[in-house]
Homo-oligomer: A and B are copies of this chain.
């Protein structure tokens, strides 16, 4: 499939490289066409990898991963032609973290709203699916790094898009996937970040996974 990665940070790099290994065509998008980090990523990842502006990447792809820092996600999306997202699946893995008051960060949007919902409002003709935001990026593409078989959640308003994302999650190695319903489930998924951060601070282990026993 043709997949866009918006964001050139560690999350975008890790998911992008995994998608290349799974034989997808991946374009990494950033604010400028000549982003050095995107170029370096393309060089490492061979002929199925390419790079361009955020807009180029969205136009190229059928599926778009939002791997920007949560605090800039909405700002980035507002700068892209909204029509380019029409009928496309947008996987939001970002977290609206507020580091301005020190560690651990709080959430910019929380409890009665979520970044996932705000993304869906900005892109009304896209199928937004929230997933993967509850673990670090190495665990996103390799859940066994947690020393077990953790649970992953997804939520969104479009069933077909969720089937597509579920298949990608399975290709990433996720065996236990719970569909939390519509995009308002993003509130609960984003509110898992504080416990993730607290566990990380308590254990100094970033390879954490949540297994839902039931």
CA distance A101 to B194 in the complex (A): 24
Please provide the chain A residues from 185 to 202 with a CB less than 8 Å away from any CB of chain B in the complex: 185, 187-189, 191-192, 194-195, 197-199, 201-202
A40 close to chain B: CB less than 8 A: no
Decide if A147 touches B106 in the complex (CB within 8 Å): no
A interface: dominant SS: mixed
A150 touches B213 (CB 8 A): yes
Size bin of chain A's contact surface: 35 or more
Closest to A200 in B: B214
CB distance from A13 to the nearest CB of B (A): 24
A44 beta carbon closer than 8 Å to chain B: no
| CB-based contact A212/B210 at 8 Å | yes
Question: If A111-B107, A111-B110, A111-B111 touch, does A212 touch B208 (CB 8 Å cutoff)?
Answer: yes
The answer to whether B106 touches A213 (Cβ under 8 A) is: no
Name the segment of A61-69, A85-93, A174-182 touching the other chain: A174-182
A213-B148 contact in complex given A107-B111, A195-B192, C-beta closer than 8 Å: yes
Chain B residues, CB < 8 A from A47: none
Is A209's CB within 8 Å of the partner chain B? yes
